[in-house]
Structure formats: structure tokens, C-alpha cells
Chain A
Amino acid sequence: MHVAEHGSVMNVTVQRGSADTPTRTETFDVPAYDNQTVLDVVSWIQQNADPTLTYRFACRVGMCGSCAMMVNGVPRWTCRTHVSKVLDGNKINIAPLRNLPVIKDLAADMDPFFDKWVAAEGKHHPTRTREEEIAPVDPQAEERQAASAGIECINCSICYSACDTVTGNPDYLGPAALQRAWTLYNDAKDADRDAILDAVSGKGGCHNCHSMGSCTAYCPNELDPLSAIAGLKRATTRRFFGRRG
């Protein structure tokens, strides 16, 4: 592992600006330490160089998914990205998440991302009322395993920012929302599979995916939205030919 020399300085370029002002970049000299995450670097700038720098974080341990940014062109959780892993010479380039509007500086507007989560029918359709017994779920069932493979998503939008299909096609629901739809489709407790398949078959649906796999390549939780979307394509195709939805 690379260990920074004591007293050395990093050259950090940060994207500034908001929806109302044109974006520009600013460069800061930030002291390098042996143990330092990209989030530490952003916080150092905000606390020591420019208190007007806007960014978003909460848990700092990779659980909440709110600190994702573009680091040297790659979407990453800044709290779980060690500087030594991404340092390019002594430079780092930090920008807000791609494919989303910018609120200000490094804080991206997550609204479109969450709207699509809902548009992909990412909500539970109950099979029973609260008066009834809880339905038992067999953890070994094939469908349950398919669902379980995708439920650790924390909505950080890394996959959404990595996807070039989202860039070219603003209607496209994107990997996270579609993976959510796939987990519900495989949930024995979900009562409306047809509604899910309808929601992912429209103009922005799963059929727009070109299987470039950046979602799976960059997911920090090592989930596989690419295969989940392929599953939706398979399910909708099966339904197209009149087989069980």
C-alpha cells in the first residue's frame, strides 16, 4: 500500500456550482496523511479551505449510501474509498454523481433516481392483510435466492451514475430501480407480478439496457443489477409468448 510522506500535499480538483450558476472547477492543496478517505479530503477542504463547499454524507461507514461522488471519473462511496487507492500521481478529481442534476457543488439531486424507483413499481403488493398469519418464506427456494441476491441495495445511485444508457436516455429507469423490481418479482409475498412486468416494459423499461455491465462492475455492495435486468427481460419475453408471467 502506498503511504504518503509526512508533510506532502495532494492536488485536489473539485467541481463547484449549482443549478443556477455555471459549473467550474477549483483546485485545493490538501495535506496527505497515511490513513485518509476521499470523504476526509472533502471534509478537510470544507473545514479548512472553503466553508461554502457543499457535499452530502451521513454514516461515514458505508451503510447509508449518501456520500457517493465521482472520483477520478468513477462513481464511488467516498467514505469507503481510501485516497491511496485512487490517487493519480498526487492528483484527485472529485465531482458530483453523474446522470443527476446538481443541487450545489458535490451534492447531486437524487429525486429522479427515487422517482424511477417508484415508476419501476418498486413497492410491495401484499398477498395478505395484517389480520392474517405471516406467510412462511422458504429461504432455499430458487426464487427467494434470486430475490435475496439483490436486496442489499442501499440506493446510493452508484450504478445509476455508472450507466451510459442512463446518460443517453433520460427516461431509462436504470439499474437500481430495475433490480428492485426484479427482487419484488421473485418475492413469494408479492401479489402483482403483472404490474411489475408492465412497469418495466414501457419506454424507459428494462429492454433499453445494452448489458454494458457498468452497474455490476461498480456496485460497492457487489450486487449484480445486470443479471437482475436480464432476468426481467427473460420474464417479460416469457410473458410475451404467453407463458406464466
Chain B
Amino acid sequence: MKVARAHPLWLAYILHRVSGIALALFLPLHFWVLSLALTDAARLDSFLTLTEMPLVKLAEFGLVFLLAVHLFGGLRLLAMEWLPWTAPQKTWAAAAVAGSLFVSGTFFLQAI
């Protein structure tokens, strides 16, 4: 029997869980490629040239997105569980963090 679940907090929960699984599956590959630096530097370079391919670039975007989603979803959970704030205070705090990251991130992208 189908169960109605489409409310914002449930979607946040499933996004956190799915992004966590995807990141955990990616990690062994990530570690293995980096360890090539020790054993086979030429092969590492050939892997790194793959990152120029549009499809790989898109996958990288996906991974960074998953990491960011899991980070902010996790910070939201920690704030919800550990900070004895009211709901509006938490909303404002989250908005402030997101806003300052946006501003500093834009600055960072301009600076480099």
C-alpha cells in the first residue's frame, strides 16, 4: 500500500540518506585514484585528464552537490537536535549562514 510522504521534512530526510549512500559509494573510488600517486603517477595523470570530459565534469558537479546537500542537511539536523532555539530563530540562522556563504563564495570565485 502506498504511503503519502511528500512533505518537506520527509524529502529532506530522503535527500540526506540518498546523498549519504552515494557519497559512501564514491569514497573507495576516490581513495583508490589518489593512492595511485604513490604507485603509478602516470596513471593518476591519465585519470585526471578524464576530468576534462564534459560528462565527468557533470558527474563532478553532482558529487559536489551531494556533498554540499549532505553538509547543510547535516548541519540542519545538528541545529534542530542540539540548539534549544525556536523554529523561526533556526530559520533565520540557516538563512544567515547560507547568505554569508553565498557572499563569501562569490568573493572567493572572483579572487582566484
A-to-B contact residues, CB < 8 Å: 15, 70, 72-74, 93, 95, 98, 162, 164, 210-214, 216-217, 226, 230, 233-234, 237
Contacts and interface: CB of A to CB of B under 8 A. Distances in A.
Contacts of B16: 210
7 contacts: A70-B3, A98-B3, A164-B3, A211-B77, A211-B80, A212-B9, A226-B9
B2 A73 contact: yes
B2 A212 contact: no
A214 B14 CA distance: 12
Contacts of B10: 164, 212-214, 217
A234 B81 contact: yes
Contacts of B81: 211, 230, 233-234, 237
User: Which 10 residue pairs of A and B lie closest in terms of their CB atoms, listed nearest first?
Assistant: A213-B9, A212-B13, A233-B81, A74-B4, A73-B4, A73-B2, A212-B10, A217-B7, A73-B3, A230-B81
B30 interface: no
Contact of B82 (A162, A211, A212, A233): A233
B51 to A, nearest CB: 34
B20 to A, nearest CB: 11
Contacts of A15: 1
Contacts of A234: 81-82, 84
A212 B77 CA distance: 10
Contacts of A226: 9
Given A70-B1, A73-B1, A93-B1, A214 B7 contact: yes
B104 to A, nearest CB: 28
Contacts of A211: 9, 13, 77, 80-81
A93 B9 CA distance: 25
A25 to B, nearest CB: 9
Contacts of B5: 164, 212, 214
Interface of B: 1-5, 7-10, 12-14, 16-17, 77, 80-82, 84
Contacts of A216: 9
Nearest to A217: B7
Nearest to B77: A211
A212 B5 CA distance: 9
Nearest to A232: B81
Nearest to B13: A212
A229 to B, nearest CB: 9
Nearest to A224: B87
Given A164-B10, A210-B13, A213-B9, 6 more contacts: A15-B1, A73-B4, A93-B1, A212-B13, A217-B9, A237-B82
B3 to A, nearest CB: 5
A235 to B, nearest CB: 10
A214 B8 CA distance: 10
A70 B2 CA distance: 10
Contacts of A214: 5, 7, 9-10
Contacts of B82: 233-234, 237
A23 to B, nearest CB: 10
Contacts of B1: 15, 70, 73, 93, 95, 98
